[in-house]
Each structure stands twice: as structure tokens, then as C-alpha cells.
Amino acid sequence: MGLNTPEIELLGIAPEIALVVGALFILIVDAIIGEGGNKWHLWILSTIALGVSIFLAVQAWGSNELQMGDMIAVDGFAAFVKITLAVFALLTVWLSRSYLHRDGIEESEFYGLLLFAVAGMMLMASAADLIMVFLALETFSLALYVLVGFRRTSLTGQESAMKYFLLGAFSSTFLLLGIAFVYGAIGSTQMYGSSAAGAGAQGIATALVSLPAGEFTLLVIATGLLVVGLGFKVAAVPFHMWTPDAYQGAPSPVTGFMAAATKLAGFAALIRLLDAILFPLRGDWRPLVIGIAVLTMVVGSVLAVVQEDLKRLLAYSSIAHAGFVFTGIIASNDRGVSGSLFYLATYGITVLGAFAVIAVLGGRDERRTTVDDFRGLFYESPLLAGALTLFLLSLAGVPATVGFVGKLVVFGAAVEAGYSWLVVVGVLASAVAAFFYLKVLVVMYMQERQEGAEPATSGYGGLATGVIGLAALATVALGLYWSPLIDFAERATFFFSAGG
């Protein structure tokens, strides 16, 4: 017997390896140093691991191949998503340092789990086999379940973690069933199908070419189930039930990370599946995805109006934003894909900034997160109020912020593909959404501060300020001068394909 091992090319998964090694290193170093002390080594080591990961992800730029026995695709799309994920994680690490330090719950496991989560998300972006999609999804989900409940003394935190865990496990079954249907249809779980000999020579892409028309029923069912399973993770309606609860109870840095990075990872897998692999079946999946997109935009925007808690409000807003990304996916042209990437990257930066402000203002144990608590904030801390204003305006899509550019790009792609009515729905939803962002602004600027209220800001580090500053800078700078990032996203829009 001979073992037909695949060629091991580590460069393709080097960013993930760097993160896993970094996580292990952090856990071990912390065990050696022990209790007490300032714990500064944790965020420094995390920063180094993420920096190395970005460096390695950049190295893979330009390659376009399947590696490790056709399990992962190393292409521009994956590289873009990996770099963006690592940037999100960097901001999260710095913010978490301030947050955890203030609340006295700084533990090495937080950083370790965060790095595991990022590694899983990166694998998701380059997965070229449905088994890899599932494993990557489970890796980052498991880490996130624990991170959501990281404030162990908080009952809301525990409730959030429990709900997220149960619904997340439930959604995994849909994904698995979808994978099973794919296996039933084509006899393997590969997305592309390969030239290499072995059990998995057939893939979805090759099957779509070789199978006679009319035998796609199983694949269509599978597509539906895969969209449901991944729809849970990106918080699309009607699979959004967990989102407000999980976002509210999670520590604010984790909430920001989930809104930014989990969405990006989930959408990365969806985009690769729908717009690259299942593109020939678009007539079948478009009605389903259009329904989800319309529901997501409308329900997310409308339900956000009645929220009293700022974290819940942003949770519903994140649902609405998932709907906007879906319009880019439905367009399924090059502009749609690059527009979705651009949208996800810029939305992530903005929402991380918004949650950074909330983390700072919420105070120890997040006692102040309702909209009322932000009353008269402008008169007490004009800079933070200004930053939050900027982020909310960007989320609303006001011109001169990056949120406007993002909406312009995805809506433009949808119009190009002939879905103008979908864009009308999206614009109407944005108009509704603008209402609740403005509601927060009114409270901050036009109402008096409550008598005897605690000072809004107490005991947060310079790192959190830096994160808010960076996010604000990016929101304005990219809103005025967006072409470099769009160019980058456009050049990233090449998937591995057997032809080239």
C-alpha cells in the first residue's frame, strides 16, 4: 500500500497557523508568568500574532490555486478577507485590553479564544470543501460562544451565551444536512472538483458542468439548506432571533467583533458558494436569497426603531446591514462581489468604532447602555459624542462617510444586474434606519444630562481611545477617498477557477 498524501504547502494556511501558534504561546506564557501583574504581555503578544498573520496573508496575494489536497483555495478573495479579518481582530484586541483591564477580568483565555476564532474565520474564507466550511464555522463559533459569556458574573451575559450556543448548534445541523445533500447529489463534498486522483475528484463546480440538466434537484435543496445554515451566522431574517440577545449580553468588544468579523466570515463562505461555485444555478437560488434580503433589510430596520438599548439597536441595525450586503450577492457580478467585500470591510470598521464608544461609556459591568444613558453626552464628553455621531451617520449612509460609499457600490451593482426594485426597498429601509440613528443623536445633543448621573467616562485606557480614533479616521478618510480600498476589493475579486 502507498499513502497518497497531498502536497503540503504551508504558505496557504500560514496566516491561520500563525494565529493558532500565537494563541498557544499566549496561553503558555501566561501560565508561566502567573497571576497578578499588569498583563500587558497578553495584548502585545496578540498584536504580534495578528501582525505576523497579516504579513503572511499578504505574501499569499496573487496566488490562485487549490492546496492541501484541494481543501483550501488560495486566491485573491481569500487574501482580502483574511487581511480584513486580522485588522478587525487587531482593533478588537486593543479595545478588549482597555475593557477587560477596567472590569478586572483580563485573562489569557480571552485572547487565546479570540485568536482561535480569527483562525477559524480565515479558514472559512478560503475553504474549498464543505467539510472545511463546517469545521471552520464550528471553530470560530465555539470560541465565540465562550467569548459572549465571558462576563461570568453577569446573568445577561450567561443568558446571551446560552441562547447563542443553542441556536448556533441548531443552525449547524442545517449546514450539515446541506452538506449531506451535496454528498448525495455528487458523491463528494468538494466545491471545485479536482484533477487529482482520489475519492473526491468530483466537485460541485464540475458536477454542474457534467450532470445533465434536470438532475440538479438535490443540489438545489442543498443550496437552500446551506444558505439557511450560513444565514444564521450572518444574522439574516428569519434566522436572526439570537442576534439582539447575544449582542446585548456579550462584552462590547466581542459584540463589535461579532458584528464585523462573524458577518464577514459568514458572507465570505456565502459569496464563494453562491457567486463563484453555484453561479450556474443562480436562477434557482436568487428567489430564495432575494426573499431573505428583503426581509432582512425591512425587519432589521423597522425593529431597530423601537429599541431602547443601544446595543440591541445596533444589533438590529447589523441585521439590516446584512440585508444590504445580500443585494450585492444577488447581483452576482464582479461589482457585486467587490462591492460586498468593500461594504463588509467598511461596515466592520464603523461598527467596531461604535461598539468601542459603547464599551468606554458603558462603564464597569456595562451598566449604562440604554439610549437614555447617553442623554446630554455632548456636553460632558464632546469628543466621544462626536465619534459616536460619526459612526452612526456612517451606518445610516450619510454622504462624506464611508457608509454612503458602501451602499452606493452594492446598490449600483444590483441596478447593473437589473434589480432596481430591490434597491428601492434598500433605500426605503435605509430611510427608516436613519430615523433611529438620528434618535440617538437627538438624545446626545438636545437633551440635558440627568441630575446626579455618574460621569460618563471612567477608567479606560489609551488603547480604547486609539481604537475609536482609528475607526473614526478610517470612516472619514475612506468616505472621502475610497478608491484605494475599492481598487483593492476589485483586484481581490478573483476566485480560484479551474481555467485560470
Which residues of this chain interact with other proteins, rule CB under 8 A? 1, 3-6, 13, 20, 27, 35-36, 68-72, 101-102, 104-105, 107, 109-110, 112-113, 116-117, 119-120, 123, 129, 131-132, 135-136, 138-139, 142-143, 145-146, 149-150, 152-153, 198-200, 459
List, in order, residues 6 or more apart from 147 with CB less than 8 Å away. Answer: 110, 113, 114, 117, 250, 251, 254, 257
Residue nearer to other proteins on the CB measure, 40 or 379:
40
Q: How far is the CB of 252 from other proteins (least distance, A)?
A: 17
Residue nearer to other proteins on the CB measure, 13 or 344:
13
Q: How far is the CB of 153 from other proteins (least distance, A)?
A: 6
List, in order, residues 6 or more apart from 338 with CB less than 8 Å away. Answer: 409, 486, 489, 490, 492, 493
328 burial type by CB count under 10 A (0-12 exposed, 13-18 middle, 19+ buried): buried
Q: How far is the CB of 458 from other proteins (least distance, A)?
A: 11
SS3 label, residue 468 = helix
Phi/psi at 216 (5° precision): -95, 5
Phi/psi at 105 (5° precision): -120, 30
**Within 13 Å of residue 18, how many CA atoms lie on the same side as its CB?**
21
Neighbours of 199 (CB within 10 A): 8
Residue nearer to other proteins on the CB measure, 5 or 499:
5
Residue nearer to other proteins on the CB measure, 192 or 482:
192
Residue with cell 480614533: 469
Q: How far is the CB of 86 from other proteins (least distance, A)?
A: 17
Residue nearer to other proteins on the CB measure, 27 or 398:
27
Q: How far is the CB of 66 from other proteins (least distance, A)?
A: 11
Residue nearer to other proteins on the CB measure, 72 or 464:
72
The grid coordinates listed for 75 are 486566491
Per the DSSP assignment, residues forming a β-bridge with 67 are 72
Residue nearer to other proteins on the CB measure, 188 or 252:
188
Q: How far is the CB of 344 from other proteins (least distance, A)?
A: 23
Neighbours of 392 (CB within 10 A): 27
Q: Which of 461, 465, 467, 471 is nearest to 106 (CA)?
A: 461
Q: How far is the CB of 475 from other proteins (least distance, A)?
A: 30
Helical segments of 127-154, H only = 130-148
Q: How far is the CB of 182 from other proteins (least distance, A)?
A: 15
Residue 151 contacts residue 103 (beta carbons within 8 Å): yes
Residue nearer to other proteins on the CB measure, 275 or 366:
366
Residue nearer to other proteins on the CB measure, 20 or 377:
20
Q: How does DSSP classify residue 364?
A: G
Neighbours of 101 (CB within 10 A): 20
Residues in the chain, total: 500
Q: How far is the CB of 68 from other proteins (least distance, A)?
A: 4
CA angle (116, 117, 119) in 5-degree steps: 65
Residue nearer to other proteins on the CB measure, 137 or 325:
137
Task: For residues 389 and 140, give the distance between their C-alpha atoms in angstroms, rounded to a whole number.
Answer: 31
Q: How far is the CB of 436 from other proteins (least distance, A)?
A: 34
